[in-house]
Structure 1
Amino acid sequence: MRHNLEASLHLLNTLSGWQSGYGGSSSSSSSNVVVVLVEVVLVLLVVVVEVVEVVVVVVEVVVVVVVVEVVVIVVVVVVVVVVVVVVVVVVVVVVVVVIVVVVVIEVVV
């Protein structure tokens, strides 16, 4: 940002020097208007560039936040699925063990 501002100021100073070096007293008013218009356009361009840079930074931050949120959501979903699978496996194993014990007791008795 600072580099853009410094470059614009250097260009404005160059244009001002050009205008004062080549403009006569009678024709200097029209060249003054041209130089002022060029200066205004350059300043507006610098402002537009700065605003675009800020918008790009904001978009980058938003993208990073969204990516982090998506990663967190995926991790939470994976953890929940793993916990559910483990619970289901434990319940199935307990049921099978109980059935086997009951069958063994029936056979022995």
Structure 2
Amino acid sequence: MSTDQYHEPPQELSEEVRTFARMCASLSEEADAIGWYEQRIAVEKDKVARAIMIDSLGEEYKHFSMELEFLLRAKPKWRAIAQGILFQDGDIVKHGEEAEEAAG
């Protein structure tokens, strides 16, 4: 079993913690894929290839969002902080500080 996603011995971690770690790894991989597609799309000259990449990018957005939602449901404090930051107009850092303080 690969353990490069764990910082502690996997056999000592609960199934819940291992699932959470897997989802964190998946979220990170989706973020990487989004960045890669953005770069490829920016330089691709072929219209058909570019359209396929744009379609694939949409799938990465969907996967990232689903994985994030799973993680936020698993960690109520994280969700509370995220709700104070996401989809808000104004100063992102200020919202972050306020949301963290409110979440305790």
Task: Please classify the TM superposition score into its range, dividing by the shorter chain length.
Answer: 0.3 to 0.5
Which protein shows a greater Rg?
1
**Could you tell me the TM-score, scaled by structure 1's length?**
0.36
Higher helix share: 1
**Could you tell me the TM-score, scaled by structure 2's length?**
0.37
